[in-house]
């Protein structure tokens, strides 16, 4: 009976674990769509920022933000996760970030590293990189904007004191319901071909907007919004990818637990049948013994 009771406990535990895995799988699937919608919601605002940049670029004044820097200062923002059960999510993006940061460090005098997520920060520190600031991963799409503002506030003093020449984002980019890939995006310096395309694009109406602010001041404000959009998109993509990785892990776990549960049920039925057979044999043996005595 001890073996049967032990198997019954294992079956009950496996069923409970399977229930948890199914719940986590459902939550991951819902979260993926939540963060994908957050990315989609940025499209119109991003277009507004681009139109503002287009207006400033059409002037004859070249904002100071467009003038090349010395290339001596570098800042990286790496997006990872606080929690596990998401496969190689953190290891993959950390590997890409470490390689790129080390290459850039050979050309830059100063570097600053900001990391979103406890596990990604641990991977970078294990590789010998100093993490200057670490941030918690947002728990929902509505909390992403708060995180982005915190990152921008952390970057502002460095930008004022050291005039950071390069700002690069590292994050996993969603490629479907359960797929993603590591992605590297340079935010600063601005991509000149992209700016040239903006400048030469046709304005949607016959009237070009006018502005009263100094071009450099307006351009800097728009670039800050451009950075906000880029960071928001990177964070939302990273969160969607994290949940995609977790969904894939939970699907594998669900299959493994299901297979294990099937094996346990077979063993349980086998042991139970043996127990019943043994009891029946004992009864028959007892009956035969009584019949011989009588």
pLDDT in tens, 233-273: 999 999 999 888 888 888 888 899 888 888 888 887 887 77
Domain that holds residue 269: 4-25+249-293
pLDDT in tens, 20-44: 888 888 888 888 888 988 888 888 8
Number of domains in the chain: 2
Task: Give the C-alpha separation, 52 to 46, whole Å.
Answer: 10
- The pTM (predicted TM-score) of the whole model is 0.81
Average pLDDT over residues 135-148: 93
- CATH number of the domain bearing residue 264: 1.10.287.80
pLDDT in tens, 149-193: 999 999 888 777 666 778 999 999 987 666 789 999 999 888 888
At residue 288, does pLDDT exceed 80? no
At residue 282, does pLDDT exceed 70? no
Burial label, 216 (beta-carbon count in 10 A; 0-12, 13-18, 19+)? middle
Query: Do 105 and 41 belong to one domain?
Result: yes
Query: Do 244 and 258 belong to one domain?
Result: no
Give the residue among 38, 71, 80, 39 at the shortest CA–CA distance from 170.
80
Contacts of 185 (CB under 8 A, 6+ apart): 168, 169, 171, 230, 234
């Amino acid at each position: 009976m001890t073996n049967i009771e032990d198997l019954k406990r294992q079956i009950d535990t496996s069923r409970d674990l399977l229930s948890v895995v199914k719940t986590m799988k459902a939550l991951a699937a819902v979260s993926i769509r939540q963060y994908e919608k957050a990315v989609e919601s940025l499209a119109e605002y991003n277009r507004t920022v681009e139109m503002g940049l287009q207006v400033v670029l059409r002037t004859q004044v070249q904002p100071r933000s467009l003038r090349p820097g010395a290339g001596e200062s570098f800042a990286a923002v790496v997006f990872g996760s606080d929690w596990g059960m998401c496969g190689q999510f953190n290891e993959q993006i950390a590997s890409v970030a470490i390689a790129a940061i080390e290459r850039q460090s050979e050309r830059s005098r100063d570097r600053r590293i900001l990391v979103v997520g406890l596990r990604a920060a641990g991977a970078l520190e294990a590789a010998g990189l100093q993490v200057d600031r670490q941030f918690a991963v947002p728990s929902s799409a509505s909390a992403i904007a708060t995180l982005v503002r915190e990152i921008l506030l952390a970057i502002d003093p460095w930008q004022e004191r050291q005039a950071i020449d390069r700002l690069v984002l590292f994050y996993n980019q969603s490629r479907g319901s359960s797929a993603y890939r590591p992605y590297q995006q340079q935010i600063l310096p601005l991509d000149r071909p992209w700016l040239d395309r903006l400048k030469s694009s046709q304005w949607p109406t016959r009237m070009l907007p006018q502005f009263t602010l100094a071009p450099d001041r307006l351009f800097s404000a728009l670039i800050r919004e451009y950075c906000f959009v880029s960071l928001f998109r990177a964070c939302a993509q990273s969160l969607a990818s994290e949940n995609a990785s977790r969904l894939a892990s939970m699907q594998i776990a669900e299959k493994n637990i299901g297979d294990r549960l099937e094996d346990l049920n077979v063993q349980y039925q086998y042991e139970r049948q043996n127990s019943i057979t043994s009891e029946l044999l004992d009864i028959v043996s007892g009956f035969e013994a009584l019949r011989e005595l009588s």
